[in-house]
Amino acid sequence: MIRIDASIPRAQETAQLFDDPLGFLARARAALGDVFVIREEKALLSRAADCAGVIAVFGAANHQAVLTDAELFRQPISAAQHISLPQTLINLNRGLHSMQGAQHDQHQRLLMNVLSDRSNEGRRELVQTGLEQFVTGWKYDQQIFLLAEMRRLMLALSTRLLFGEQYDESAQLATLAEQYFHARRAVASTFKAPDKGTRAKLISLGTSLDSGLRRYIHWSRKATGDGLLGTLTSLETLSDDELVAHSNVLFMSSLEPTAVTLTWAILILSQLPDLRRSLREDQSQLDGVINETLRLLTPNALMTRLTTRPTPLSSFPVPANCEILISPFLAHREPERFPRPNEFLPERWQGLKPSPFVYFPFGGGAHYCAGRSLATYMIKTSLAFLLQRFDPVLAFDQEIDWKIDIVLLPVNDPVMSLRRPESTPVVGGKLIGPVRELIKLKS
Ligand code: HEM
């Protein structure tokens, strides 16, 4: 067993890591500096066997070193591989995340081209119709569960954008992909091996999804499907297995982080009536609102990598097979980079362009998010549309807690009331509790 060098500072009271991971990391960082050991001899998030332990790493130069060299700091293997699921299910997760080297770079170029701003522009009408249809189900003064509704909205938009409107089975395929995503997440977020029933359900969903995606690819090759995945299918450089994997990973990636970001943005705005009104008149402030939401409540709160060989970080000797933990959540609150770091200040983004290793809600370096343009487009268009038609406020005072379950998300789903937009916006229920403690708001 490789031991972590004694010169690297050790965090104390590591039990707190599980109760309050972000608070624990912030306190340990303040006491110990940019590099410290959280755990010896055992992985935390990656399931790596024979892991030397876990080291937390801070500071833009360290973030850059870890995120840029994807061969030295590799992505952990997927849960599907770890629990030895059948090959079909392992293939479903073989998207860009799990690729390396020249193959990764070639596929990254292809995917980024398909998911570019140019592609989004051509799909403006499709998104607009999707939003119009979605809100036909919303009435003034109705109460909604915010995260559940944002998941439903992102499912509707992603289905149109990725599978297109011409494929008859788009909706069923999308629902199946979503079910598989939630079943897989339930397995991935616990370190226990799944019981027989859970495993059988996951295999059944994954096998159906694989067949469904293959039928879609077959149809799309013949019909030149109108969705983004149709464009990918027409490229002819990708095998069926590769197309299945990319389709699944892109579809899944387009759902949860976008739904969660919209949820956080609307929850914050529910506390800021003047800003809601001013956004209705001047949408140019939306970029600042989205950047600030992604700064303070970044879905990607923690990231992890595994060292493939010994390497120095801040001149400490880090061994091979060591889990490296990076926290964009805390990086985004560095007071030297973001003065008054805990305050929600959309106006701070006027003219601000932080380095991609200081502010990185979409990751940075080699595995930088391939869907960033699509994500910002979906979030911005949806937020603008919903705020024009509704004034969302908390239905009553609510204590909202948070958790990290792959992404940072609310534990209890905020209940919103959909008010009619008036010139004097309504002051709704107050946000209280743990989420409120993560952000300072001008009321
Ligand atoms: C707010 C929404 C989103 C957030 C916050 C987000 C965040 C991220 C982050 C942090 C990474 C890097 C992970 C790492 O390095 O370990 C990533 C990678 C990725 N994202 Fe996103 N993402 C979002 C939306 C999307 C969308 C809409 C798509 C596609 C439809 C997408 C596709 C991908 C892919 C394929 C990768 C892997 C890139 C690679 O490994 O080269 N993401 N995303």
pLDDT tens-digit readout, 333-352? 999 999 999 999 999 999 99
The residue whose two tokens read 């995340």 is: 97
Does residue 443 register a pLDDT over 70?
Answer: no
pLDDT tens-digit readout, 394-417? 999 999 999 998 899 999 999 999
Question: Cα-flanking dihedrals φ and ψ of residue 209, to 5°?
Answer: -65, -45
Q: Ligand 1 centroid vs 119 CA: distance in angstroms?
A: 17
The residue whose two tokens read 């990290």 is: 404
Nearest CA among 431, 440, 361, 437 for reference residue 392:
431
Residue 367 contacts residue 115 (beta carbons within 8 Å): no
- How far apart CA 266 and CA 300 sit, in angstroms, is 18
Confidence (pLDDT) at 55: 97
**Token pair listed for 313:** 């970080």
Ligand 1 residue neighbourhood (C-beta within 6 Å): 95-97, 108, 115, 249-250, 253-254, 257-258, 261, 299-300, 303, 361-363, 367, 369-371, 374-375
Protein residue with least CA distance to atom 42, ligand 1: 371
Q: Ligand 1 centroid vs 99 CA: distance in angstroms?
A: 14
Confidence (pLDDT) at 226: 80
Does residue 122 register a pLDDT over 80?
Answer: no
Does residue 431 register a pLDDT over 80?
Answer: yes
How many C-beta atoms lie closer than 10 Å to residue 1's C-beta? 9
Confidence (pLDDT) at 80: 66
**Pairing relationship of beta strands 415-419 and 391-394 according to DSSP bridges:** antiparallel
% of the chain residues with pLDDT over 70: 98
- How far apart CA 181 and CA 338 sit, in angstroms, is 35
Confidence (pLDDT) at 225: 67
Q: Which atom of ligand 1 is nearest to the CA of 374?
A: 27
**Pairing relationship of beta strands 303-307 and 323-326 according to DSSP bridges:** antiparallel
Residue 243 contacts residue 111 (beta carbons within 8 Å): no
- How far apart CA 188 and CA 193 sit, in angstroms, is 9
Q: Classify 314 in phi/psi space as left (phi over 0), alpha (psi -120 to 50) or beta.
A: left
Confidence (pLDDT) at 159: 95
Does residue 17 register a pLDDT over 80?
Answer: yes
Confidence (pLDDT) at 390: 96
Tell me if residue 423 falls in helix, strand or coil. Answer: coil
Alpha-carbon Rg for the chain, nearest whole angstrom, is 22
- Cα of first residue to Cα of last residue in the chain, in angstroms, is 54
| Ligand 1 pocket, mutate which of 96, 111, 158, 253 (most atoms under 8 A from CB) | 253
Q: What is the mean pLDDT of residues 1-12?
A: 91
Tell me if residue 34 falls in helix, strand or coil. Answer: coil
| Cβ density class 185-207: b for 16+ within 10 Å, e for less | bebbeeeeebeeeebebbbebbe
One-letter amino acid identity for 384?
Answer: A
Question: Cα-flanking dihedrals φ and ψ of residue 314, to 5°?
Answer: 50, 40
pLDDT tens-digit readout, 72-106? 999 987 666 677 789 999 999 999 999 999 999 99
- How far apart CA 381 and CA 378 sit, in angstroms, is 5
**Token pair listed for 166:** 């011409």
User: Out of 1-10, 74-83, 263-272, 363-372, which region has the weakest mean confidence (pLDDT)?
Assistant: 74-83
Q: Ligand 1 centroid vs 197 CA: distance in angstroms?
A: 31
Q: Ligand 1 centroid vs 254 CA: distance in angstroms?
A: 8
- How far apart CA 4 and CA 11 sit, in angstroms, is 13
**Token pair listed for 57:** 């790493």
Confidence (pLDDT) at 7: 96
Q: Ligand 1 centroid vs 375 CA: distance in angstroms?
A: 9
Count CA atoms closer than 13 A to 237's CA, side-chain side.
10
DSSP per-residue letters across 364-415: -GGG--TTHHHHHHHHHHHHHHHHHH-EEEESS-EE--EEEESEEEESSPPE
Per-residue confidence band for 435, with pLDDT thresholds at 50, 70 and 90: very high
Tell me if residue 222 falls in helix, strand or coil. Answer: helix
Q: Ligand 1 centroid vs 253 CA: distance in angstroms?
A: 6
Confidence (pLDDT) at 190: 67
Q: Which atom of ligand 1 is nearest to the CA of 95?
A: 35
Q: Where are the alpha helices (DSSP H) in 224-355?
A: 228-233, 240-253, 256-269, 273-281, 286-296, 328-331
Q: What is the mean pLDDT of residues 260-264?
A: 98
Q: Higher-confidence residue: 52 or 13?
A: 52
Calculate the average pLDDT of the chain. Answer: 93
